């Protein structure tokens, strides 16, 4: 993996992924996190790679290793809309939001959907760019800093569990949601 970017396998371990979990990769893109999570959850678990771009979902499906077949399920959906992921209420142990928060236009919709799909005491992992880095990352005005990400999710009722360096240009924050 290029040293300039985050390592999904290392970051998935930081997220506490274990065998048998149900994981949603929200805004899956190329599917790096979906594949890394699939390698840990095994055939007793399930990883939902969710994206609004059908071409990236086809790429994920076509490039899934044989060992990941039956573990990764691609889902066309809008993560910024309540019900947009098409997942059942309280069905997900871990939601991964990697390199996506900076692109989100409807944060309220995203938060509501994450809260809907997470199991009580479920976990949210946010990995995003810590800067623009001369244009390698998103434009400076689109960066959501680690402090801002923490504020967004704690204001919405999430509890920060930990932060970790997610690569030379990324931060990682793990949150839990507490449901009554």
Identify the weakest region by mean pLDDT among 52-56, 71-75, 105-109, 128-132. Answer: 128-132
- In whole numbers, what is the pLDDT of the chain averaged over residues? 91
Task: Assign residue 25 the CATH number of its domain.
Answer: 3.40.50.150
The answer to the question of residue 2 being in a domain is no
The answer to the question of residue 3 being in a domain is no
pLDDT class of 179 with cuts at 50, 70, 90: low
The answer to the question of residue 72 being in a domain is yes
Average of per-residue pLDDT across 5-23: 92
What are the Cα distances from residue 48, in Å, to 22, 139, 144? 8, 29, 25
Q: What is the pLDDT of residue 5?
A: 66
Whether 98 shows a pLDDT value over 60: the answer reads yes
The domain total for the chain is 1
Q: What are phi and psi of 104, to 5 degrees?
A: -70, 125
Whether 180 shows a pLDDT value over 50: the answer reads no
pLDDT class of 3 with cuts at 50, 70, 90: very low
The domain of 131 spans: 8-177
The answer to the question of residue 1 being in a domain is no
Is the separation of the CB atoms in 80 and 27 below 8 Å? no
Q: Which residue has the higher pLDDT, 2 or 36?
A: 36
The answer to the question of residue 134 being in a domain is yes
| Global model pTM greater than 0.95 | no
To 10 degrees, the CA torsion angle through 89, 15, 42, 85?
30
Identify the weakest region by mean pLDDT among 4-13, 50-59, 89-98. Answer: 4-13
The answer to the question of residue 54 being in a domain is yes
Whether 1 shows a pLDDT value over 60: the answer reads no
Q: How far is CA 129 from the centre of its chain?
A: 13
Whether 133 shows a pLDDT value over 90: the answer reads no
């Amino acid at each position: 993996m290029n040293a300039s970017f985050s390592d999904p396998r290392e970051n998935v371990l930081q997220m506490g992924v274990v065998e048998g979990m149900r994981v949603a990769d929200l805004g899956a893109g190329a599917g790096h996190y979906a594949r890394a999570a699939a390698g840990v959850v095994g055939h007793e678990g399930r990883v939902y790679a969710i994206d609004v771009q059908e071409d990236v979902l086809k790429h994920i499906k076509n490039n899934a290793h044989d060992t990941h077949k039956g573990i990764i399920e691609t889902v066309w959906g809008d993560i910024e809309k309540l019900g947009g992921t098409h997942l059942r209420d309280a069905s997900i142990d871990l939601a991964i939001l990697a390199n996506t928060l900076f692109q989100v236009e409807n944060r309220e919709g995203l938060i509501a959907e994450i809260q809907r799909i997470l199991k009580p005491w479920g976990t949210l992992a946010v990995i995003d760019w810590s800067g623009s880095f001369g244009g390698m990352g998103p434009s400076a005005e689109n960066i959501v800093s680690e402090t801002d990400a923490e504020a967004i999710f704690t204001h919405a009722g999430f509890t920060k569990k930990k932060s970790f360096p997610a690569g030379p240009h990324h931060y990682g924050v793990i949150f839990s949601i507490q449901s009554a």
